Chains A and B, each alone.
Chain A
């Protein structure tokens, strides 16, 4: 369990997940209030990772439910194992005749079979799916419902019931309640807006692309031994690429891929040729690459031109600051 927001940040950082304070606050609140979290944001900013890391940091077992169009109760909650039931009836045929012996009428026979039919609708013949597993799990659990926006609206309605009560009713057996209420993370890429009812039950977390400083720290943590200057340059170019009007903006995972590629190539700084050759790691569409190549000269030149002048204003600012502070009445 976490006892403060800062603790979360450090714990997650220890698991190599660098997060902003906003994210840490939401995770903290989710644990405190035991409310599901709906995580939204562009692809590749670490929504799924967040859940995985939180599970690892809190020692919860991660159970994942991947959503897709056409996902139904049977795939998400539980299913009767028909073939097994069928098999058992075949095997137990003799036993049946034994039971039936001496039955005087059809009704009598049916009653006798009926008396023991609960055998076939017991937990033995249930295949638990992720939701059921999360609810019946005896260990603390983190349930990750991934890409919930891909599921059908009907499924979402069904999910609501599970999320608000944490219990499942199986008509043949009865209601199964959660032994320990799991922590729930739902992720969405905004392919479809979720209903208000679902949103109301969740805390909402929007993860956007990180700012420059945070992204450098992420690179630092994820790629051991990366050259600090290279990391900064990579991040700066990526940040500028995000400003362009691209079909798919590069996200953190692309930045990481790129930085990894560059370290493998033993690059210590970026030049136009190198960027040109490796741009397909960052950008996934032909049109985007073309557009970026057009702007690339500007991006890299701007960077080198900025460098010398960059030092000066910082120094000046520092000089001004104490004076300004003094001026405040104290």
Chain B
């Protein structure tokens, strides 16, 4: 048991769940103080001592199933199914077994010698069978399995270790002996069928065992791979499903940034001694300064104006940027969001009225304020902003522009951006294209570059979160 728990701990660790030595010791003492007659009790005890984050609970449950209980259920399922099949053929197993038992009793003990495996199979002693398969798997080195292609190989080895072939032969011999002892022909045939079925079931469950073993060994790999690759994956080629998953990842990242932010803010809190407040506060002590008060330095929260290109090529960047920014709303004093393709319109009100995901979808479709089905024209959009919304920018405003600056050979009108730049605290440009492509073809990025404080490639979530983080610093 001890060894199995240690092994289970290792598998948890491999899957990215942090379990300290102290925690696994706790698990042992927890198990000592419980009567372990129930599986759920066991599971809860291990969980409460080893799993300390709510996010890890699903992983734990899955692994627990894989490691402790799932296989037994599968075994029982396979036997149930076989029973169902047989009764479909008109074979009543209970009766058959009873008959064999009776006949065995009337025969000499020495004549029929069944191996452990054959006995376990015949009596459907599932827990014994489970233990046998586990032992055989261990002898066959099953935990070394690395990929799908090895399942067949290892299954065969486990079966060899089990002596599956021999057991099947024994059962067939048993049927023969029964015939000689005077069993009816139909029943003998039925027993032969059962023997065949049992062999098949055994083959299936061993294979299933190996599949589980593989999953167990690779659990972390699959999970980690999924998470990592989403962070790195380019926004250009996301499937609809991935967009959904991505949304969750963004929410998590935003939460994390929020946490860091509150710590950062707090560090700034303590300033110089505030003599006025200290005196006021200590009036009750006769003006003797027992309790000190400090001045608090305040850090300006940035104002944000976002200009999002929502043409299809950059829609995803805009989507996640908007989600990010609005998830972190409280970190900014004010956010105004504009979308453009050629025309430019403000979508701030949509975010006030609707829920964030709905609002984003609406905004990406132009939000009734612009026509999204035109060709990108950055110059026109900036000019429009310059004409109508320049007042939105003051020296505390950060302007965030998302777009690939592919202007379809229209006039760039960079002077609009220059004026914006002059008024704003910062102009940040995020471009989903890599810097190598800026200024080639119809890209006018090089024209805008002089008027940006930061211009960066932003092609995946990792880059995006880094930029958001820096924006807030």
Which residues of A are in contact with B by a Cβ distance under 8 Å? 4-5, 21-22, 25-26, 28-29, 32-33, 35, 38, 40-41, 82-83, 86, 152-153, 190, 192-193, 196, 199-200, 202-206, 245, 247, 287, 291, 323-324, 326-330
Q: Which of A4, A193, A203, A291 contacts B259 (CB 8 A)?
A: A193
Give Cα A203–Cα B49 distance, bound, in whole angstroms.
5
A204, B41: Cβ atoms under 8 Å? no
A327, B86: Cβ atoms under 8 Å? yes
Q: Which of A22, A202, A327 contacts B52 (CB 8 A)?
A: A202
Q: Is B45 an interface residue (CB 8 A)?
A: yes
Question: Could you name 14 residue pairs across A and B whose Cβ atoms are closer than 8 Å?
Answer: A5-B41, A21-B44, A28-B34, A29-B30, A29-B34, A41-B54, A82-B285, A152-B266, A153-B263, A193-B259, A327-B80, A329-B122, A330-B94, A330-B124
B44, A206: Cβ atoms under 8 Å? no
Give Cα A314–Cα B23 distance, bound, in whole angstroms.
44
Give 1 or 0 for each of B275-319: 1 = CB within 8 Å of chain A CB.
000000000111010110000000000000000000000000000
Known contacts A203-B49, A287-B355, A328-B80; can you find 5 more A-B pairs with CB under 8 A?
A86-B286, A200-B22, A203-B26, A287-B354, A327-B84
B48, A25: Cβ atoms under 8 Å? yes
Give 1 or 0 for each of B83-127: 1 = CB within 8 Å of chain A CB.
110110000011001000000000000000000000000111000
A35, B26: Cβ atoms under 8 Å? yes
Residues in B whose Cβ lies below 8 Å from that of A29? 30, 33-34, 45, 48-49
A329, B83: Cβ atoms under 8 Å? yes
- Given A5-B41, A21-B41, A200-B23; A328-B52 close (CB under 8 Å): no
A21, B86: Cβ atoms under 8 Å? no
B21, closest chain A residue (CB): A200
Residues in B whose Cβ lies below 8 Å from that of A153? 263
Q: Which of A41, A202, A206, A324 contacts B83 (CB 8 A)?
A: A324
Residues in A whose Cβ lies below 8 Å from that of B30? 29, 32-33
B262, closest chain A residue (CB): A192
Q: How far is the CB of A107 from chain B (nearest CB, A)?
A: 25
Give Cα A110–Cα B23 distance, bound, in whole angstroms.
54
Q: Is B132 an interface residue (CB 8 A)?
A: no
Give 1 or 0 for each of B154-196: 1 = CB within 8 Å of chain A CB.
0000000000000000000000000000000000000000000
Give Cα A40–Cα B54 distance, bound, in whole angstroms.
8
B123, A329: Cβ atoms under 8 Å? yes
B57, A206: Cβ atoms under 8 Å? yes
Interface of chain B, main secondary structure: helix
Number of interface residues of B (CB under 8 A): 48
Residues in B whose Cβ lies below 8 Å from that of A247? 355
Which B residues, 4 to 56, have Cβ-Cβ distances below 8 Å to chain A?
Answer: 18, 20, 22-23, 26, 29-30, 33-35, 40-41, 44-45, 47-49, 51-54
Scoring A4, A26, A323 by chain B CB atoms within 10 A of each residue's CB, the highest score goes to A26
Q: Which of B53, B83, B259, B357 contacts A192 (CB 8 A)?
A: B259
A154, closest chain B residue (CB): B266
- Given A203-B49, A327-B87; A83-B285 close (CB under 8 Å): yes
A198, closest chain B residue (CB): B52
Which B residues, 61 to 93, have Cβ-Cβ distances below 8 Å to chain A?
Answer: 76, 79-80, 83-84, 86-87, 93
Q: How far is the CB of A42 from chain B (nearest CB, A)?
A: 10
A26, B48: Cβ atoms under 8 Å? yes
A29, closest chain B residue (CB): B30
A86, B29: Cβ atoms under 8 Å? no
